[in-house]
Amino acid sequence: MKVSQGYFKGAMNTAVEPRANTYQNSFALHVHFEEHNTNADQDESSFHALARLLGVRKQESYIIPGADSFPSKSLRARVEKFLRRPLASGSTVVLLHYSGHGYLSDEKLNLIKLLRDGS
């Protein structure tokens, strides 16, 4: 799905407008699987460039290791660790970006690891 600049700006304003007009802090986290076939490494660069344009100085990436036997557990721990700082920092805006495949089932997000060979 293509998103126009105007649509994106409107969506961001809608998300931020009802809240505080000034945030003390801003954080961004990009996540993708190490062994992917989705060009997520390019998405990572684009996301960080966008975060910089939005004035987010504290940016991180978490690349889920291909050898991780329990990626959902590792991802949850990493996101919880990432959110500790923002939650303790007062008025904060957080951007979280996942690049990859996934789907909703029973209102739960399921992320899918697809290897470069398509398996």
Give mean pLDDT, residues 79-98. Answer: 83
Decide which of 70 and 88 is more confident: 70
Mention every residue, 6+ apart, whose C-beta is less than 8 A from residue 90: 24, 25
Can you tell me the distance from the alpha carbon of 32 to that of 81, in angstroms, rounded to the nearest whole number? 17
Q: What is the pLDDT of residue 119?
A: 44
Q: Establish if 2 belongs to a structural domain.
A: no
Give mean pLDDT, residues 72-80. Answer: 87
Average pLDDT, the chain: 79
Q: What is the pLDDT of residue 60?
A: 94
Q: Establish if 1 belongs to a structural domain.
A: no
**CATH code of the domain containing 94:** 3.40.50
Give mean pLDDT, residues 48-58. Answer: 88
Can you tell me the distance from the alpha carbon of 1 to that of 63, in angstroms, rounded to the nearest whole number? 24
Q: Establish if 99 belongs to a structural domain.
A: yes
Give mean pLDDT, residues 11-21. Answer: 70
Q: Establish if 43 belongs to a structural domain.
A: yes
Q: Establish if 9 belongs to a structural domain.
A: no
Specify the range with the lowest mean pLDDT, choosing from 14-18, 77-81, 98-102.
14-18
Give mean pLDDT, residues 21-43. Answer: 82
Q: Establish if 14 belongs to a structural domain.
A: no
How sure is the predictor about 28, in pLDDT bands with cuts at 50, 70 and 90? very high
Q: Could you tell me where the beta strands, DSSP code E, fall in the chain?
A: 25-33, 58-64, 92-98, 101-105, 108-112
Q: Give me the number of domains the chain comprises.
A: 1
Give the closest residue to 46 by CA, choosing from 99, 5, 2.
99
Edge-to-edge strand ranges of the sheet holding 25-33: 58-64, 25-33, 92-98
Please give the residue range of the domain that contains residue 53. 22-112
